[in-house]
Amino acid sequence: MEREVRVRFAPSPTGPLHIGGVRTALYNYLLARKLGGKMLLRIEDTDQNRFVPGAEQYIMDSLRWCGIEIDEGIEQGGPHAPYRQSERKPMYRQYADQLIRDGYAYYAFDTPEELDAMRARLTAAKVPNPQYNSITRAQMRNSLTLPEEEVKQLLDAGAPYVIRLKVPRKEEVRFNDLIRGWVVVHSSSIDDKVLMKSDGMPTYHLANIVDDHLMEITHVIRGEEWLPSAPLHVLLYRYLGWEDTMPQFAHLPLLLKPDGTGKLSKRDGDKLGFPVFPLEFHGKDAETGEPTVSSGYRESGYLPEAFINFLAFLGWNPGTTQEIFSMPELIEAFSIERVSKSPARFDQNKVRWYNEQYLRAKPDAELAQYLLTELNEQGIGVDMPTERLEQIAGLVKERATFPADLAREARLFFHRPISYDEQIVSKKWNAQVAAALTAFAAVLPTATDATPDGIKALLTQVVEGQGMKLGQVLQVLRMAVTGSGAGPDLMHIMSILGPQETAERLQAAVAALAAHAG
Ligand code: GLU
C-alpha cells in the first residue's frame, strides 16, 4: 500500500524565520497539498543555549501570514503530539541505548580539556580537519577503548559522558536525493557525531531522525546546508533498523545575495536594503543586549500572495512563461523535479514587481479600503462617497507598488496645491496659457459631460478657440490642477475632482502665478 505523504518543516527557534526558511516551508507545503498529504510543523529546540524567546510564535505567525497551513503541530495537535522536541525528551534515550546495544554507538567520557588536547595534537601533526572519528577514537577515553569494568564504574559513579555514533572507517554511504541525484560520501569524512549530550538532551541528529521516523515522514525537504548531515542520517536509519521507511531527501538550492556573493543570511538584516524576514522582528542585540528591530515584508507593504509567488520562483519554475501563480495554482503546478540544483539569487526588483502585479489586480473596492486606511493613518480626513474613493484608487493604482503609494498618489484629491512646480512655471507659464486656462475655467461649470472624454472635448474646443494646440497646455494645466508636472491621467483627475473644483483650482493658479504671466 502507498504510504500517505507526510512532510515536515522543522525549524529551530533560534531567531526569526529567514525568507530561505519560508521557502523551505512553502515547498514542503506545496508538495503535501499536491500529493494529498500532511504538513507538519515540528519545533526543534534541543539546543537550549540558542533558544530565542518569541521565535517559536514568530515562526507560526509568519507561516499563517503567508498562507502556509499546518495540519499537525503545536497549535493544531495531532496523532504524534507533542510537536516540540523539548517536550519529547524522554523518548530519545531508548534509541541511543539501542544503538549502543547493537554496537553502533558508544559512551565517550572525554573532558573538554581532553578534546582540546586531541585537536591541538592533530593540528600540530598537520591533520587538516581534526575530528573525533574512526581513527582518533582509538586514542580517546570511551567505551571502545576503556576496559568494560571501568566503563561500568564510571557510569555507576555518574561520570559525565556523551553518546557518539560509531561511524565505520571505510564505507560508501549513498542515497538518492530528489533534486541532486545520487550522493555518495565516504564514511571516512564523517565524524563520530554526538547523539546524546551530557545533560541527557539528544542532539539535532538523533532527535531529528527519531522524530521523522515516529512521525512517519516520507519526504525531507530542507536547505542545502543540511546536505553534509544527510549521509550521517542515512547511517542512523540503517543502524536503527528503519531503512525500509527512510524518507526521501530533497536538498534545496541556496539563496544568494543579489550580487551573487554568498548566502543570504539572517545576519544581513536590513543591511542590503530589503527585509530578509517575513514579519518585523523585535529582538535583542547578541552582544550589547540592546533592543533591535528588523524590518519585515508585511510591514513594508508586501502582500502575502506576492511574497509567496516570488519565493516559489526562487529555485523552482513551472517550465512555462507564466509568472503569476496563486497558491492553488502553485500547488497544481509544483513538482520537486522542477526545483533547480543551482543557487537562486535574490532579486529585489522582482519582488517589487510581484507586489505591483498583485496590488494592481485587486478590485478597486479593496484598494479603496487600503487607501482609506493609509489616509486615516496620515490624519487626512476623507469625506466623499465610496464610489469616488474607488475611482481614485482605480486611477492611482498604476503608479503604486505598495498600499502606501496609493495614498501618496491620491493626496492631490484631498489637498489643493500649495505650491507649483517651479521649472514648469518658469519654462511654460505665460499670458497666453493663463488666458486659455481662464477661459477653460469659465466654461467648465457649464459642462454637460463631465466624463474624462467629455472634459477632453471641452478642453480641446477652448484651447483651439484660443489659437493653441492641446499639447501646448497639457503640462501646465496639470501643474495648475495638482501642483506638479507628473501624475495619473489628467482627464480622469479632472473628471473625479469635478468641473467646479477643477475650475476653482485653475482660477487659484492663475491668481497665484499672475506675476509670472508677463
Ligand atoms: N532544525 C533544523 C533547522 O533548523 C532542521 C533541518 C531539517 O529539516 O532536517 O533547519
Query: pLDDT tens digits, residue range 156-173?
Result: 999 999 999 999 999 999
Cα(207) to centroid(ligand 1), Å: 11
Pocket of ligand 1 contains residue 217 by CB under 6 Å:
no
The tens digit of pLDDT for each residue in 123-141 reads 999 998 899 999 999 999 9
Residue 50 has pLDDT above 70, yes or no: yes
Model pTM? Answer: 0.93
Residues 247 and 168 in one domain: no
401 and 482 part of one domain: no
Co-location of 166 and 118 in the same domain: yes
> Quick one: 320 and 346 in the same domain?
yes
In a shared domain, residues 354 and 367: no
In a domain, 148, yes or no: yes
Mutate which of 218, 226, 236 for ligand 1 pocket (most atoms within 8 A of beta carbon): 226
Choose among 438, 417, 22, 46: nearest CA to 210: 46
Indicate whether 73 pLDDT > 80. yes
Q: Is the CB of 46 under 6 A from ligand 1?
A: no
For residue 85, how far is its CA from the centre of ligand 1 (angstroms)?
12
pLDDT over 90 (residue 53): no
Ligand 1 centre from 22 Cα, in Å? 12
Q: Tell me, what CATH number does 399's domain have? A: 1.10.8
Q: Is residue 34 in a domain?
A: yes
Residue 82 domain-assigned (yes or no) = no
Whole-angstrom CA distances from 325 to 67, 313, 335, 354, 366 are 14, 10, 14, 10, 20
Q: Is 10 a pocket residue for ligand 1 (Cβ < 6 Å)?
A: yes
Q: What's the gap in Å between 111 CA and the centre of ligand 1?
A: 28
Going by CA atoms, what residue is nearest to atom 5 of ligand 1?
10
| 89 is known to lie in a ligand binding site | no
- According to the model, what pLDDT value does residue 273 have? 86
Q: Domain residues for 438?
A: 416-518
Residue 191 Cβ contacting ligand 1 at under 6 Å? no
Q: Are residues 275 and 314 in the same domain?
A: yes
Query: Residue 30 and residue 331: Cα distance in Å, rounded?
Result: 5
| pLDDT tens per residue across span 353-390 | 999 999 999 999 999 999 999 999 888 888 889 999 99
Is residue 269 very low, low, confident or very high in pLDDT (cuts 50, 70, 90)?
low
Among all chains, which residue has been given the C-alpha cell 497558491?
327
Residue nearest atom 2 of ligand 1, based on CA coordinates: 11
Q: Which amino acid is at 226?
A: W
Report the residue among 12, 47, 254 best suited for mutation to probe ligand 1: largest number of ligand atoms under 8 A from its CB.
12
pLDDT of residue 258: 92
User: 222 CB less than 6 Å from ligand 1?
Assistant: yes
Judged by DSSP in three states, 451 sits in coil
Domain boundary among 196, 228, 246: 196
First to last CA, the chain: 91
Residues 334 and 368 in one domain: no
Give the ligand 1 atom nearest the CA of 221.
8
Instruction: From 374, 372, 384, 419, select the one nearest 501 (Cα to Cα).
Output: 384
Q: How far is the CA of 43 from the centre of ligand 1 (A)?
A: 9
The share of the chain scoring above pLDDT 90, in percent, equals: 90
Catalytic status, residue 193: no
On whether both 61 and 94 belong to a single domain, the answer is no
Greater model confidence, 261 or 156: 156
Please give the pLDDT value at position 78.
98
Claim to verify: residue 27 and residue 40 sit in the same structural domain: yes
CA–CA–CA angle 220, 40, 304 (5° rounding): 100
Q: Which of 196, 214, 238 is the last residue of a domain?
A: 196
